[in-house]
Structure formats: structure tokens, C-alpha cells
């Protein structure tokens, strides 16, 4: 085991990596508490909103002035919307569809990052960017096509569409973080927490109103008791810890290293889904997922060369 004592330089060097791995682990297995809460009757959208309300309160308590900074800067509102929409897509998607497929579709970010960087940051589309898009697209074709076939990558169920949507907004989230790099770290974190609370709650509220109780796509929320409350509180604590771990790791390591380490979330999600459910990883899906991860890894490497 590495020495993590305060006086150990070696321990401090490995700590950021361990922090990022912890963040990836929490998100990789986050589908499990969300499904448990859904089994208790609390929809993933309401569960997501509840956990991020706690995060919002925590940041406000630590630094009250962050509220004024958030309100005065509209790009932070876009960041909040992107972060909240990411939660809607990812958390709802992994709760109702195959975890492996949803997570892989979520990580089609290289496609969306190239397009959004062009629109938002006015970055040129390079041949390396097009290569990443091609790799991710081919990977999506393999993941979404029937076994032994290769066709147009079209999600088949709601959960897959949600995973795809979550990846689009996660790419926008990262683009906005880059654009707002001059803002304080607390303001950016606060924006993501606010979005994580308001957007899922807003979507859930709208669906609950539209469909009512006759066909409750999203049932009205309730305060869980017993094991449900324990899972909800534990989930909130783990998410807050994971976010702190991400800030600790990302602030001490190059952006490309952070991006590559965070890809381990796919590994954690895949292994946990195989272990805790009846999901399997086929050769075709594995190859497709490998191409998607390769595209994401190349994105990180290009970020390094660009700086």
C-alpha cells in the first residue's frame, strides 16, 4: 500500500490519482442506488434533485458570496443547465436500460465536443478531431447494432436515448467549464450543483403534471423512510465526496491525465453491471466500447499538445 502520510512526498503524488479513481468509482456504480431508490418508488430525477440540493446548500454555507457571482454571470447559467441536463440523461438512463450500453453512449463525447467547441469556442475542426469522430461513430455502430451486424447507430429504447443526450450535455458542460475558467472554482461547482438540483426537478415536475397519475412516467415525489432514506442520504454523501475528490484530483493533475483516469468510470460501470445484474459484455460491444474509449483518450492527448 502507498504511504499517504502528510510527510510523504510519494503519498501526496499518488493522492490525486486515487481521488479521481474514487470519483470514477462512485459514478460508475451510481446506477445501483438510483435503481434501489426507484424500486422504493422514488424516481431517479427526484433522487438526483434531492442530492444536489444538499450540495448547493453546502457550497452556499462555505462561501455565501458565490450566489452573487452566479447570478451576475449568465454563462454560468448555461453551465448549470448543461450540468443538470447531464444528470437527467445519465441518472435516468442507467436506471431503466442496460448500464453498459448507456454508459458507452454517454461517452460518445468526442463527437459532440468537436462540434460544440466549434460553435461555442470557435475552435477549428482538425483532421485529428475528425478522426476521433470517426472512431466514436464506428464504436457506436458496433454497440448499437444487432450481434454480427453493422448498421446506422440508432438507440432502441428510452434509456439509450437518455444516455446519448446526457453525453451531449456533458460535452457542453466541459466546454462551458473551459470557457468560464476565469471564474472561481466555487462558482463553477455551485453552478453545476444548482443545475443538478433544478433541471431534474423541473423535468420531473413537468412530466408529472403532463401525465398525472393515470400513466405516471415520473410519479410525484415522496420522502422515503427506512432503507430508502438511508440509501438516499448515503447516495448524497457519496456524490458530495466524489465531487470533492474530483476537485482535488483535477486541480493537481494535467487536464489530459484527469480525462484519461476518469475513463475508468466505464470499467467500474461495466464490472458492477455484470456482477450485480444479468448483463453481459459481448465481443462486439467490447470492441465498440474500446473504439469509443480510444476516441476519448485521443481527445485528452490532443488537449495536451494544444497547450
Q: Say if CB 239 and CB 50 are below 8 A apart.
A: no
The verdict on residue 135 lying in a domain is yes
> What is the pLDDT confidence band of residue 4, given thresholds at 50, 70 and 90?
very low
Query: DSSP of 41-93, one letter per residue?
Result: T--HHHHHHHHHHHHHHHHHHH-TTHHHHHHH-HHHHHHHHHHHHHHHHHHHH
Distance CA 16, CA 11 (A): 10
The answer to the question of residue 11 being in a domain is: no
Residues 208-228 pLDDT 10s: 887 765 556 788 887 777 888
Question: DSSP states of 180-196 as a string?
Answer: TTTS-HHHHHHHHHHHH
Contact 4, 14 (CB under 8 A): yes
Average the pLDDT over 17-22 and give the result: 86
In a domain, 291, yes or no: yes
C-alpha to C-alpha distances, 272 to 99, 109, 196, nearest whole angstrom: 9, 22, 24
Eight-state DSSP code of residue 282: -
User: Number of structural domains, the chain?
Assistant: 1
Give residue 151's pLDDT.
65
Q: Does the residue 4 lie in any domain?
A: no
In a domain, 12, yes or no: no
Q: Flag whether 5 is in a domain.
A: no
pLDDT per residue as tens digits for the range 175-200: 887 778 788 878 888 998 999 999 99
**Amino acid 257: pLDDT:** 67
115 near 136, Cβ under 8 Å? no
Domain assignment of residue 3, yes or no: no
Q: Is 157 left (phi over 0), alpha (psi -120 to 50) or beta?
A: beta
- Please give the residue range of the domain that contains residue 201: 22-305
Joined grid coordinates for residue 107 = 461517452
In a domain, 13, yes or no: no
Amino acid at each position: 500500500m502507498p504511504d499517504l502520510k502528510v510527510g510523504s512526498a510519494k503519498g501526496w503524488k499518488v493522492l490525486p490519482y486515487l481521488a479521481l479513481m474514487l470519483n470514477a468509482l462512485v459514478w460508475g456504480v451510481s446506477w445501483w442506488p438510483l435503481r434501489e431508490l426507484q424500486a422504493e418508488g422514488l424516481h431517479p430525477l427526484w433522487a438526483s434533485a434531492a442530492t444536489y440540493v444538499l450540495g448547493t446548500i453546502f457550497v452556499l454555507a462555505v462561501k455565501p458570496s458565490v450566489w452573487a457571482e452566479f447570478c451576475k454571470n449568465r454563462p454560468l447559467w448555461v453551465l448549470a443547465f448543461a450540468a443538470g441536463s447531464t444528470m437527467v440523461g445519465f441518472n435516468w438512463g442507467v436506471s431503466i436500460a442496460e448500464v453498459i450500453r448507456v454508459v458507452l453512449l454517454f461517452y460518445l463525447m468526442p463527437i459532440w465536443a468537436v462540434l460544440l467547441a466549434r460553435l461555442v469556442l470557435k475552435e477549428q475542426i482538425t483532421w485529428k478531431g475528425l478522426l476521433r469522430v470517426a472512431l466514436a461513430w464506428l464504436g457506436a455502430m458496433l454497440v448499437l447494432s444487432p450481434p454480427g451486424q453493422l448498421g446506422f447507430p440508432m438507440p432502441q429504447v428510452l434509456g439509450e436515448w437518455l444516455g446519448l443526450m446526457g453525453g451531449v450535455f456533458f460535452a457542453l458542460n466541459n466546454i462551458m467549464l473551459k470557457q468560464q475558467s476565469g471564474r472561481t472554482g466555487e462558482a463553477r461547482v455551485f453552478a453545476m450543483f444548482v443545475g443538478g438540483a433544478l433541471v431534474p426537478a423541473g423535468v420531473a415536475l413537468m412530466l408529472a403534471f403532463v401525465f398525472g397519475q393515470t400513466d405516471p412516467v415520473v410519479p410525484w415525489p415522496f420522502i422515503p423512510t427506512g432503507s430508502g432514506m438511508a440509501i438516499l442520504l448515503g447516495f448524497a454523501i457519496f456524490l458530495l465526496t466524489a465531487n470533492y475528490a474530483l476537485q482535488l484530483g483535477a486541480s493537481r493533475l494535467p487536464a489530459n491525465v484527469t480525462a484519461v483516469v476518469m475513463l475508468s468510470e466505464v470499467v467500474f460501470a461495466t464490472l458492477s453491471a455484470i456482477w450485480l445484474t444479468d448483463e453481459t459484455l459481448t465481443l462486439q460491444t467490447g470492441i465498440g466500447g474500446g473504439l469509443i474509449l480510444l476516441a476519448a483518450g485521443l481527445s485528452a492527448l490532443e488537449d495536451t499538445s494544444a497547450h
